[in-house]
Structure 1
Amino acid sequence: MARDRSDEGAGAAQRAAAESLAVAALGWLAGQGDPLRDFMVATGSGPDEIRARAADPEFLAAVLDFLMQEDGWVLGFAADHGLRPEQVAQARARLPGGDQPYFT
């Protein structure tokens, strides 16, 4: 069955919104100090690579994966950005690999 163009446009808009949320999460992590350092250690990314890949959907997926490791980070980010915590997981689901099961 062919997809309707409006479905494709809605999907693209949802992905763009998810990417924007992930960029905001990266900025939030940067403002927290230790979590950003921990992210850089976990990913092997330095400041230059973070800047270079900040628009890469796969990198942004990694940002949300990292953020979602700690409930306190999700709650803090959501509160600081006027979001519901579940919106972080919803955004993650719209980025590459988001259709994979999430096990913790």
Structure 2
Amino acid sequence: MRFPLLSRPASALCFTKFNKPFPRIWAVTMISHAELSEMTDAAIMHFAAEPELMSQLMAASGLRPADLRDAAARPDFAAAILDFLCESDERLLHFARSAGFRPERIAYVRAALEAGQVGPMRRH
């Protein structure tokens, strides 16, 4: 399954920092796989607590609730989740407040993922 969210436009907050627009591809440094997983997990928990958001995610991605667990293990799912958050300033800010992330960091993680700047998953 391919996630159609990846081609949708992002909110202004996902492409601005300190009220100055930055280019679609800007220099990003590597983020850890753990940070990406933490943010994605927090987003899924946020959606689970907000049935309307979960419903919107399911409609936008074409997923069914039964598909969610399998989809969450796929690398492109994190991109789809961050794209979904970044589609709307309101959605992005609401998630950032409830999960304790700065909106700029969410945008940065999204850009790092898009640029392939995510460290490998560590195995213990």
How would you bin the TM-score normalised by the shorter chain?
Answer: 0.7 to 0.9
Spell out structure 1 runs of 4+ moving beyond 3 A.
Answer: none
The correspondence for 1:21, drawn from 39, 51, 55, is: 39
Q: Is the 8 A contact 1:61 1:92 kept in 2?
A: yes
The residue that corresponds to 2:99 in the other structure is 81
The structure, 1 or 2, with the larger RCO (C-alpha pairs under 8 Å, 6+ apart) is 2
The correspondence for 1:48, drawn from 55, 63, 66, is: 66
CA distance, structure 1, for counterparts of residue 84 and residue 64 of structure 2: 15
Gap runs ≥5 in structure 2: 1-28, 117-124
- Does residue 94 (structure 1) correspond to residue 112 (structure 2)? The answer is yes
- What RMSD in Å do the two structures reach over aligned CA positions? 2.0
Gap runs ≥5 in structure 1: 1-9
The residue that corresponds to 1:35 in the other structure is 53
The residue that corresponds to 1:65 in the other structure is 83
Task: Give me the TM-score of the superposition, normalised by structure 2.
Answer: 0.63
Relative to its length, the structure with more helix (as a share) is 1
